[in-house]
Structure 1
């Protein structure tokens, strides 16, 4: 049984796939809602969703469009489950903020493992009582506050939305400032993520982070590229 009764939204226009995933998730103790299109997704999100599985190849609005709209308005982990096996589709999905990607046909045990991993990384949803809880571990750098317990990033203009993958990557950099990390080291240190050979999602996530925290993403000062070696997090000041 699931310990936290997480609520999963299954988005797929294949009735058989939706039923199979619903049965699988409910057997593990998760709450499950279903949707086949954008309107169904919008209605379900208002009920409180902890994670969404999303098919790219829907009959109406395509999954990528739905993922973009969800990412703009909700801090919600997304696992793309699709019959498209092309690497380009995977990269585009990760670029717009998907937290993981599974190609059909899939094994239900693999889906469950990915769901559990993403839910662990995304952390519990913040409640009113959490807002008044004891102070949490926080790393401050150059005007930003990275809250490790609440998995949030605050800047001078307010909260900055990060996917769970982006948060984990920034947290890794913040724990190892002024140290050059190769792509292989980053992939090894980010346990729980599923990386494919020649996977460029690290580079894509860094590009997105730069757009969020750099004054000029084309001339980054916080996350610098060290040619031939990797990346280095170089804040002017940092304190935990």
Structure 2
């Protein structure tokens, strides 16, 4: 049984508000569209609606995971830690007023709030740039967030040395360029990855894909509904609409 120390609210794409033992963590911030980059789903949270944050964690440097335009408007910049996968991203965050922005490397850990431990998990690379995933542990639960991860193998390596998680947030739309490898998991990889992690719940992220100039260069290969159809009886897929808060039922 998952203790009620977890809550999840999706804003859009991989931008999620996680509540862990009462501490709020924002993942992959994306609140402002561009003319060339659209969400394809309603925005579920505005940046002005966010509670005080224990941390902002970012998986990669793509604009729909790393919205500097929106982060300029975040309250509490001078006290909110921002964890990113590259030194350049940390410098840009500090230039915006995030005094506690820092690069975190694969395998590093941080106590981001009393009783909330974060571990940085390898999630492959986009070209030469590393992608981070994050595992969060509290006294009552474990949550895995991979906003930009394409393969199951890194999850197998992580699970080999760590306890099972309760909830996994993994991408499902299988986004890939017309020429080249898949950028994120499709529904079959997400279901397999959640099972490898030992999760009882999969919350799909990176699902919708807007119609914009970039969409002509990419295609998707699945949805959260496909993940639901693929999941076995031991995995509950929570297809969470943007803006709706979910917490486990004891």
TM-score of the aligned structures, taking structure 1 as reference length: 0.32
Structure whose residues are more often helix by fraction: 1
